Amino acid sequence: MLSKEQTQQTAEGIPVGVSNRHIHLSAEHIEALFGKGHALTPLKNLKQVGEFAAKETVTLVGPKGVIQGVRVLGPVRKFTQVEISRTDGFSLGVVPPLRDSGNLENTPGIVIVGSRGAVTLTKGVICAARHIHMGEEDACKFQVADGDHVAVKINGPRGGTLDNVLVRVKPNFLLELHIDTDEANAAGLKNGDTVSLDLRVN
Amino acid sequence: MLSKEQTQQTAEGIPVGVSNRHIHLSAEHIEALFGKGHALTPLKNLKQVGEFAAKETVTLVGPKGVIQGVRVLGPVRKFTQVEISRTDGFSLGVVPPLRDSGNLENTPGIVIVGSRGAVTLTKGVICAARHIHMGEEDACKFQVADGDHVAVKINGPRGGTLDNVLVRVKPNFLLELHIDTDEANAAGLKNGDTVSLDLRVN
């Protein structure tokens, strides 16, 4: 049993970024969906430097349902990656495996429809595993390294602890916990809320 | 910092019951929605004794969207209560406050449509706070009492801890953790999975 002091032993606030369903596209797929020579139009910069929400959206068509207005995020990626929640998966009739970004082996595909064409993706649909972006200074402060898994403490009526949170360290990363909409809704979190590392178990 | 032994100190398995969106109806509203003299038709018994899923479903109509096929649960209640997830709330355009069942003061309403009519509910839409049903023997075994709040430990890749879980003890209750679909999807839980009390913080 822990003392009250021990259970409250947490580190400094980490801002939360809630990832709604979205898609990263390869150059080839941008052309197939939006037309030859098309380039993504930035709509809004995301917190991580160089990342942006594009004006373009796609429709996802699964065996059981359709989700329209799925935001394309830029810049262009080497491989197309569809990030949806488990709830979205039930609507579409696809079970997205929990994966770190870029780990797309043995993941399901889906049909993607853009304004000028469609792509039958054979793999690339995932439920993104939660992770914390941080720069090297923060990694030093929190005493963690790239690739570590940590636990995160959430306060509030739907509070608790999230285990197995991947730490991703790069010099230009800004401190941000990325969770999906299921995790945000389940925990009562929204963009800009803050959480802490749970030092009891890290 | 806890020893590994301490962090693994958990109690026996508690089965998980995932509550999809549903509605409990008053006698008056059953008649308004399904016709004068109508009685609910049991379709399937739920785990808790006397509770059942009815054949009847309703449509919820909010300011931003509609959800069809929302299951009616029986038996008849004194007051109509709509239980939806925060995700459902975004679809409907309603923010369901986190509440224990029956605590309906200052909750939003919604339009409910049945096969024979509609009801404009003025209050009763909630996001049900997670809770554990248990009989007196289990309460004794877990050393908890009706009204206590406990923490629950979840294993697996999306594992962690759920704080503030209400304990509800009644002689005829069967052991079951009730969570909603957001919580289930966020934690990678499905019906019949088991969790444990987190004895570190209880």
Of A70, A98, A128, the last residue of a domain is: A128
A164 vs B159: CB contact, 8 Å cut-off? yes
B201 vs A87: CB contact, 8 Å cut-off? no
A98 vs B188: CB contact, 8 Å cut-off? yes
A87 vs B200: CB contact, 8 Å cut-off? no
Indicate whether B178 and B108 sit together in one domain. no
pLDDT confidence of residue A4:
41
The two structure tokens encoding residue B157:
């890749």
Gap between the Cα atoms of B64 and A91, Å rounded: 18
Gap between the Cα atoms of B151 and B165, Å rounded: 6
Is the confidence at residue B201, as pLDDT, over 90? no
Q: Which of B6, B85, B86, B180 is the best mutation test for A, with the most CBs of A within 10 A?
A: B86
Candidate from A2, A98, A182 with C-beta closest to B157: A98
Q: Which residue is it, tokens 């970024």?
A: A17
Indicate whether B85 and B118 sit together in one domain. yes
SS3 B182: helix
Q: What is the pLDDT of residues A122-151, one digit of tens each?
A: 999 999 999 999 999 999 999 999 999 999
Is the confidence at residue A173, as pLDDT, over 90? yes
At B5, give phi and psi (nearest 5°). Answer: -60, -45
Indicate whether B109 and B31 sit together in one domain. yes
Indicate whether A31 and A122 sit together in one domain. yes
- Structural domain boundaries, residue A40: 20-128
Q: What is the pLDDT of residues A88-102, one digit of tens each?
A: 999 999 999 999 999
Indicate whether B102 and B79 sit together in one domain. yes
Q: Which residue is it, tokens 């929204």?
A: A190
Gap between the Cα atoms of B199 and A1, Å rounded: 7
Note whether ipTM > 0.85 here. Answer: yes
Of A128, A153, A186, the last residue of a domain is: A128
pLDDT confidence of residue B176:
97
pLDDT confidence of residue B199:
72
SS3 A5: helix
Indicate whether A122 and A31 sit together in one domain. yes
Check if the beta carbon of residue B180 is closer than 8 Å to that of residue B18. Answer: yes
Is the confidence at residue B114, as pLDDT, over 50? yes
pLDDT confidence of residue A199:
72
Is the confidence at residue B2, as pLDDT, over 60? no
Angstrom distances, CA of residue B141 to CA of A174, B3, B144, B194: 47, 25, 8, 17
Report the range of poorest mean pLDDT among A20-29, A43-52, B140-149, B193-202.
Answer: B193-202
Indicate whether A163 and A67 sit together in one domain. no
Q: What is the pLDDT of residues B35-57, one digit of tens each?
A: 999 999 999 999 999 999 999 99
What pTM, to 2 d.p., does this model score?
A: 0.91
Q: Considering chain A, what is the average pLDDT of its residues?
A: 93
Indicate whether B154 and B118 sit together in one domain. no
Sign of CA dihedral B123, B127, B129, B132: positive
Q: Considering chain B, what is the average pLDDT of its residues?
A: 93
A160 vs B162: CB contact, 8 Å cut-off? yes
Residues belonging to chain B = 202
Q: What is the pLDDT of residues A74-83, one digit of tens each?
A: 999 999 999 9
For residue B162, what is the nearest residue in chain A, using CA coordinates?
Answer: A160
Helices (H), A51-102: 86-92
The residues that bridge with B121 in the sheet, in sequence order, are B110
Sign of CA dihedral B202, B148, A150, A193: negative
Gap between the Cα atoms of A72 and A54, Å rounded: 5
In this structure, the strands spanning B194-197 and B14-19 are: antiparallel
Q: How many CB atoms are located within 10 Å of the residue B171 CB? A: 7
User: Is B159 within 8 Å of chain A by CB?
Assistant: yes
User: Is B199 within 8 Å of chain A by CB?
Assistant: yes
Q: What is the CATH number of the domain that holds B186?
A: 2.40.40.20
User: Is A185 within 8 Å of chain B by CB?
Assistant: yes
A104: nearest Cα among A76, A132, A80? A80
Indicate whether A124 and A147 sit together in one domain. no
Domain count, chain B: 2
pLDDT confidence of residue B202:
47
Kindly indicate the confidence band of residue B198, based on its pLDDT and cuts at 50, 70 and 90: confident
Of A103, A128, A153, the last residue of a domain is: A128
pLDDT confidence of residue A178:
98
Indicate whether A108 and A42 sit together in one domain. yes
Shortest Cα–Cα distance, A110 to chain B (Å): 20
For residue B180, what is the nearest residue in chain A, using CA coordinates?
Answer: A186
B160 vs A183: CB contact, 8 Å cut-off? no
User: Is A163 within 8 Å of chain B by CB?
Assistant: yes
Indicate whether A150 and A92 sit together in one domain. no
Gap between the Cα atoms of B148 and B197, Å rounded: 12
Indicate whether B50 and B138 sit together in one domain. no
Kindly indicate the confidence band of residue B136, based on its pLDDT and cuts at 50, 70 and 90: very high
Helices (H), chain B: 4-7, 27-34, 86-92, 136-142, 181-187
B164 vs A182: CB contact, 8 Å cut-off? no
Buried b (16+ CB within 10 A) or exposed e, A133-159: bbeeebbeebebeeebebbbbbbeebb
